[in-house]
Amino acid sequence: MADDQDTPEVAAIVSRIESWLDKHQNKLELDLTKNPIAFNQHSGNLFTGHEHQVAITLGFNDEGLTKDSSLNQLRSNFNFITLDRLPVPGLDGIPTQWKIYPQTPMSSFSEGVTLEQYDPNTQILQLTVQTKFFAIYGTIPQKYPIADAPSPKGTYLQVRRDIQGVIQLRAQLIFN
């Protein structure tokens, strides 16, 4: 959403994002399988993984799942995923104070999520997520944001497009 009101920095970042989207034909493919991401269990049926530029939550219906649960038990109890923060690989030239990530139209969803493999010995769950993003969002986090006030000019942006997302993920489920 670059317009005449944007700062030159915001306009330059928007241009880089638009060029990236054009080059990748509005498709974001992420392979997060090289090193498993630790997903800590909390609230009984929620597992959250945090890593540099990644924040994902997996929600299940049954609080009784254990590390020895089967893939079928995980599949039948899977409720939702949230993709709170994901990287945009190859989007270079963005100033380091900016946090850039894709946005899904719904905060959580289950459609398009396939639980493919689970090894109880390593507690690694492999899954694929096929989803749509509606925008690439950027912000400079504010140290003391003012409640119910707009962000200061030049500290946020959004580039709206229909973006196809394909994410491969290895999640190590850390049970309490």
pLDDT band per the 50, 70, 90 thresholds, residue 151: confident
pLDDT band per the 50, 70, 90 thresholds, residue 5: low
Enter the pTM of the model: 0.91
Q: N- to C-terminal Cα distance for the chain?
A: 43
Q: Are 39 and 48 in contact (CB under 8 A)?
A: yes
Mean pLDDT value across the chain:
94
Q: Which letter, b or e, does each residue of 63-89 get, where b requires 16 or more Cβ atoms within 10 Å of its Cβ?
A: eebeeebeeebbeebbebbbbbbbbbe
Sketch the domain layout of the chain as residue ranges: 8-142+152-174
Q: Convert the pLDDT of each residue in 88-128 to its tens digit.
A: 999 999 999 999 999 999 999 999 999 999 999 999 999 99
Q: How far is CA 26 from CA 98, 100, 130, 159, 172, in A?
A: 21, 16, 14, 11, 30
